Copies of this chain bind each other. A is one copy, B any other.
């Protein structure tokens, strides 16, 4: 696959008829790569956040079904049950994480192929084609999104981001990462400030690894420091990703996003959301959104080290919700969407 910009970091890819991924839990300390054609293994990788980031999850799930179909073809035993087995695998992957809309979007595309009246060989070819399309479209969308977004970035801007919406959250290139990369590759001397992003530390582990690897200056802060660095005037723009955007423009993203949006509003800093249109769920309202609650030990420990008493009750909401009035614009691969979001999101999705 050829693209307009160099693809230096990939999170999920297709190799030897398998889906491969970098285990993001081990970064920045170890670069471990796994490949599999077993949907159960890929589901585990998604649940345990070896693979994370809404677009990356969607791509991985699609590739997992395609690779599984390839595997099933090898053994005639399963010929009768081919569709059913694949549908069960889709169901398994569907239930890995409840919030990322791209996962459902990708699996719906894959399911529509499974539902076609085709013989298993033909169907498998189509599944591989569709999964690779989803992957290629993800990277192309990120590049386009990056180009639209980079127009909003000025030379020497400092950009605050939260969690990782970079190459490691997509097949490659990233959404927020796409904007940062296009700005950087086209000569804008930007700087990044990233929160550490507790509990899973995607900022401290992934953003730091991903951007410093490409020489893009990055400074690390705690989540608690975001409002104050904005107050001090150290930030020109905030850009975050999204796991789901509702019809009216409510943005579901990594826990902590909402607080940063409030600080950006207070200090009149643009608050941009970078997300492919596959993240936009025109059918959903904010009340429909299921906010995933994860394992309490993510809060009680940091990278497996206990930081508190073992049985203490915790809340572990993985995502929060940012109201549309706090969002300056949503940057997609089809263009930049400004308020009123209800009207303009519908337009961009149909474009």
Contacts and interface: CB of A to CB of B under 8 A. Distances in A.
A348 to B, nearest CB: 27
Given A198-B196, A204-B307, A309-B28, A219 B314 contact: yes
A224 B208 contact: no
A153 interface: no
B315 A219 contact: yes
Contacts of A229: 315, 317
Interface stretch (A45-53, A94-102, A173-181, A295-303): A295-303
B320 A231 contact: yes
Interface stretch (A14-22, A112-120, A256-264): A256-264
Given A228-B321, A305-B305, A222 B299 contact: yes
B262 A224 contact: no
Contacts of A220: 299-300, 308, 312-315
Q: For the complex formed by this chain, how many copies does it contain in all?
A: 2
Interface in A293-349: 299-300, 302-303, 305-309, 312-315, 317, 320-321
B221 A314 contact: yes
A240 interface: no
A88 interface: no
A266 interface: yes
Contacts of A208: 308-309, 312
Given A196-B198, A224-B198, A226-B259, A307 B302 contact: yes
Nearest to A229: B315
Pick the most buried of A217, A231, A300: most chain B CB atoms within 10 A of its CB.
A231
A132 to B, nearest CB: 33
Contacts of A321: 228, 231
Interface of A: 28-29, 193, 195-199, 201, 204-205, 208-209, 212, 217-229, 231, 234, 254-256, 258-260, 262-263, 266, 299-300, 302-303, 305-309, 312-315, 317, 320-321
